[in-house]
Amino acid sequence: MTEIDLEDLPGVGSTTADKLREAGYGTVESIATATTSDLAEAAEIGEGTAKKVILAARKMADIGGFKTGRDILDKRKDIKKLKTLVPEFDELVGGGLETQAITEVYGEFGSGKSQLVHQMAVNVQLPIELGGLHGCVLYVDTENTFRPERIEQMVNGLPEEADLGPLEDILERIHVARAHSSDHQMLLLETARELANDLRTSDYPVKLFVIDSLTSLFRSEYAGRGTLAARQQKLNRHMHDLLKLIDDHNAVGLVTNQVMSNPAVLFGDPTKPIGGNIVGHTATFRLYLRKSKGGKRVARLVVCFMDGLCKMVGTDGTIIGENGGVYRRGFPGTLHIPGDQTACLEAFEVLKDYFAGNGVELELYSAQYRFADVAFARNIDVDEARRVIHDRQLPVKVLDTGFAVHLQTPGVNKGTAMRELAREMGLSPTEMMAIGDSENDIEMLEVAGIGVAVRNAPALTRTAADWVTEGTYGDGFLEAVKKYYPDLFSR
């Protein structure tokens, strides 16, 4: 891509450009993915001007419009893999830690989390042909765990052909900052952005961003359920700031996380990571480390469905999920959560107690990876569940998708999410096509410019659609795309 000066953006003079660079917005791409309020504050300009600058940056950087699958495939070709040099581990994560993605490593004390990030701080400096990225690392240390002596031991354990030069040079390429509070930790990412921009054209650009540990300071400062919402909102912002960084620099994001025991788990491993769904959805890859016999360590890959699917298919990470309860524009974007999962969980407990009296046990689906609603098996009378919710005057609605029963906040649906997502993208919903197969898709089909229902959809869904396919399920989806976007199949 041709380099574009910030001064080329309309409304950005030399003074404003200098302020943007000082705030870490040194590239058009970083401005294109910024929020209006953040840019206005950084450059000391009005929000109206900031919005115009962002829109112009998106146009110049070719960010924010629709792309074909081939375009996205080409972008994914830029993704590199940072190897651990442990063959079994690298195979587990698909060949190494991906750039443009956050890998979360969680486990108990002494499970090897910090040792792994120390090793990756060395490996990232290796040439690409030896499994590295020929880059340096920015390392945010929240627990005072970084040890230069450990780096020396790991350098000595590298293959003979891996010559990184003197230890002093290797340590010079590891930039460590000690965080003392959650606010300081978040501020350090701003500093990291400035330093990464300065090093972009150096011999060793930043190719690895480490936070060890991600949640330690948040956990100590926000104790108790009363502060949970504030902590999660702050953590969500922090994670998305990291996403923007790694996307802008085609770098690896690697964070470690503490764990807690889930008392509700009577059988199996009760260990779960801190941070809940906020961390679970933002991290593309989750690795669980635990101790084993003989001083060994066991690593297990934990899949986050929505983001994992986006990565597998090759989209940019723009999603509407949980029946409209969450939506996000691209992997670096902010995950919006209009739904209220707390109310849904409370309603689920009421239904659980009610149906337990009838001998039916309800269990949540994928609770670890949901933000806004709850889902459980269709092993109950759905109309009876609706009557219970109505009689108890609970502030949720019951959805039957045909695959599961969902409890959702009233007023939250895929149509509302599509409107908000379109607004964030600078589009009208009438410029979008929606394809659905369930009653929870009706609002989305009514909002979209083109609403398509596949043949197996319920009658109400087919009635709401502009067109109904001949094919069912995936065949119907493909039929709709071919009908309205035939050029995608002629390239």
Widest CA span of the chain, in angstroms?
73
Give residue 380's identity as a one-letter amino acid code.
I
Residue 131 annotated as lining a ligand binding site: no
Q: What is the 3-state secondary structure (H, E, C) of the chain?
A: CCCCCHHHCCCCCHHHHHHHHHCCCCCHHHHHCCCHHHHHHHHCCCHHHHHHHHHHHHHHCCCCCCCCHHHHHHHHCCCCEECCCCHHHHHHCCCCEECCEEEEEEECCCCCHHHHHHHHHHHCCCCHHHCCCCCEEEEEECCCCCCHHHHHHHHHCCCCCCCCCCHHHHHHCEEEEECCCHHHHHHHHHHHHHHHHHCCCCCCCEEEEEEECCCHHHHHHCCCHHHHHHHHHHHHHHHHHHHHHHHHHCCEEEEEECEEECCCCCCCCCEEECCHHHHHHHCCEEEEEEECHHHCEEEEEEECHHHHHHHHHCCCCCEEEHHHCEEECCCCCCCECCCCHHHHHHHHHHHHHHHHCCCCCCCECCHHHCCCCEEECCCCCHHHHHHHHHHCCCCCEEEECCCCEEEECCCCCHHHHHHHHHHHCCCCHHHCEEEECCHHHHHHHHHCCEEEECCCCCHHHHHHCCEECCCCHHHHHHHHHHHHCHHHHCC
Cα distance between residue 352 and residue 361, in whole Å = 7
Residue 108 annotated as lining a ligand binding site: yes
Residue 161 annotated as lining a ligand binding site: no
Residue 112 annotated as lining a ligand binding site: yes
Q: Which two tokens stand for residue 341?
A: 């999962």
Q: At what angle do helices 47-60 and 36-43 cross, to 10 degrees?
A: 110
Residue 109 annotated as lining a ligand binding site: yes
Residue 275 annotated as lining a ligand binding site: no
Q: Which two tokens stand for residue 237?
A: 């912002």
Are the CB atoms for 275 and 281 separated by under 8 Å?
no
Residue 110 annotated as lining a ligand binding site: yes
Are the CB atoms for 53 and 10 separated by under 8 Å?
yes
Q: Which two tokens stand for residue 410?
A: 């009233």
Residue 474 annotated as lining a ligand binding site: no
Cα distance between residue 383 and residue 391, in whole Å = 12
Binding-site members for ATP are: 107-114
Binding-site members are: 107-114
